[in-house]
A = this chain, B = another copy of it.
Amino acid sequence: MIGVVATLKVQPAKAAEFEKVFLDLAAKVKANEPGCLVYQLTRSKTEEGVYKVLELYASMDALKHHGGTDYFKAAGAAMGPTMAGAPVIEYLDAVE
Protein backbone atom coordinates (compact mmCIF):
# COMPACT_ATOMS: atom_id res chain seq x y z
CA MET A 1 0.00 0.00 0.00
CA ILE A 2 1.21 3.49 -0.91
CA GLY A 3 0.35 6.79 0.68
CA VAL A 4 0.37 10.16 -1.03
CA VAL A 5 0.04 13.63 0.43
CA ALA A 6 -0.44 16.14 -2.37
CA THR A 7 -0.14 19.77 -1.30
CA LEU A 8 -1.89 22.15 -3.68
CA LYS A 9 -1.63 25.95 -3.53
CA VAL A 10 -4.77 27.52 -5.02
CA GLN A 11 -5.47 31.18 -5.77
CA PRO A 12 -7.96 32.13 -3.00
CA ALA A 13 -10.23 33.88 -5.50
CA LYS A 14 -10.48 30.62 -7.48
CA ALA A 15 -10.98 28.24 -4.56
CA ALA A 16 -14.64 27.53 -5.36
CA GLU A 17 -13.82 26.71 -8.98
CA PHE A 18 -10.94 24.47 -7.88
CA GLU A 19 -13.06 22.61 -5.34
CA LYS A 20 -15.79 21.96 -7.90
CA VAL A 21 -13.35 20.46 -10.40
CA PHE A 22 -11.59 18.43 -7.71
CA LEU A 23 -14.74 17.00 -6.19
CA ASP A 24 -15.87 15.93 -9.65
CA LEU A 25 -12.51 14.21 -10.11
CA ALA A 26 -12.77 12.55 -6.70
CA ALA A 27 -16.20 11.14 -7.60
CA LYS A 28 -14.76 9.62 -10.79
CA VAL A 29 -11.80 8.17 -8.88
CA LYS A 30 -14.11 6.55 -6.33
CA ALA A 31 -16.37 5.18 -9.08
CA ASN A 32 -13.60 3.82 -11.29
CA GLU A 33 -10.57 2.91 -9.17
CA PRO A 34 -11.02 0.10 -6.66
CA GLY A 35 -7.26 0.28 -6.07
CA CYS A 36 -7.58 3.82 -4.75
CA LEU A 37 -8.52 3.22 -1.12
CA VAL A 38 -8.59 6.86 0.05
CA TYR A 39 -8.80 10.05 -2.04
CA GLN A 40 -9.80 12.87 0.27
CA LEU A 41 -9.48 16.60 -0.41
CA THR A 42 -8.81 18.63 2.71
CA ARG A 43 -8.33 22.34 3.29
CA SER A 44 -5.66 23.82 5.55
CA LYS A 45 -7.00 25.52 8.65
CA THR A 46 -4.00 27.83 8.84
CA GLU A 47 -2.84 28.68 5.29
CA GLU A 48 -5.36 30.29 2.92
CA GLY A 49 -5.59 28.55 -0.43
CA VAL A 50 -3.60 25.52 0.70
CA TYR A 51 -5.19 22.10 0.22
CA LYS A 52 -3.87 18.63 1.01
CA VAL A 53 -5.13 15.53 -0.73
CA LEU A 54 -4.78 12.44 1.46
CA GLU A 55 -4.47 9.38 -0.75
CA LEU A 56 -3.92 5.64 -0.26
CA TYR A 57 -3.40 3.09 -3.05
CA ALA A 58 -3.49 -0.68 -2.78
CA SER A 59 -0.40 -0.99 -5.03
CA MET A 60 2.04 0.90 -7.27
CA ASP A 61 -0.02 -0.33 -10.24
CA ALA A 62 -3.13 1.31 -8.77
CA LEU A 63 -1.20 4.57 -8.35
CA LYS A 64 0.13 4.43 -11.91
CA HIS A 65 -3.32 3.60 -13.26
CA HIS A 66 -4.74 6.65 -11.43
CA GLY A 67 -2.25 9.02 -13.01
CA GLY A 68 -2.90 7.62 -16.47
CA THR A 69 -6.67 8.03 -16.59
CA ASP A 70 -8.22 10.49 -19.05
CA TYR A 71 -10.37 12.10 -16.37
CA PHE A 72 -7.32 12.69 -14.15
CA LYS A 73 -5.48 14.39 -17.00
CA ALA A 74 -8.56 16.45 -17.90
CA ALA A 75 -9.00 17.56 -14.28
CA GLY A 76 -5.34 18.53 -14.11
CA ALA A 77 -5.77 20.76 -17.13
CA ALA A 78 -8.96 22.30 -15.72
CA MET A 79 -7.34 22.98 -12.32
CA GLY A 80 -4.19 24.48 -13.81
CA PRO A 81 -5.55 28.06 -14.08
CA THR A 82 -6.66 27.98 -10.42
CA MET A 83 -3.22 27.13 -9.06
CA ALA A 84 -0.97 29.61 -7.23
CA GLY A 85 2.12 27.47 -7.50
CA ALA A 86 3.43 24.04 -8.38
CA PRO A 87 1.92 21.11 -6.42
CA VAL A 88 4.13 19.21 -3.97
CA ILE A 89 3.52 15.46 -4.14
CA GLU A 90 4.93 13.30 -1.36
CA TYR A 91 4.97 9.53 -1.79
CA LEU A 92 5.00 7.41 1.34
CA ASP A 93 5.31 3.71 2.10
CA ALA A 94 2.41 2.41 4.16
CA VAL A 95 3.51 0.41 7.22
CA GLU A 96 1.34 -2.67 7.73
Asked whether A3 lies within 8 Å of B52 as measured between CB atoms, the reply is yes
Other-chain contact of A92, B19, B42, B96 (Cβ < 8 Å): B42
Write the A24-66 contact mask toward B (1 if CB under 8 angstroms, else 0). 0000000000000010111111000001101010000000000
- Chain B residues with Cβ below 8 Å from A45 are 91-93
A74 contacts chain B at the CB level, 8 A cutoff: no
Asked whether A43 lies within 8 Å of B93 as measured between CB atoms, the reply is yes
Additional 20 contacts, C-beta under 8 A, given A5-B5, A45-B92, A54-B56: A1-B40, A3-B54, A19-B95, A23-B96, A40-B56, A40-B94, A41-B94, A42-B92, A42-B93, A42-B95, A43-B94, A43-B95, A44-B90, A44-B92, A45-B91, A45-B93, A51-B95, A52-B90, A52-B92, A54-B92
11 contacting pairs across A/B (C-beta < 8 A): A3-B54, A5-B54, A22-B95, A23-B96, A38-B38, A38-B56, A42-B93, A42-B94, A44-B90, A44-B92, A45-B93
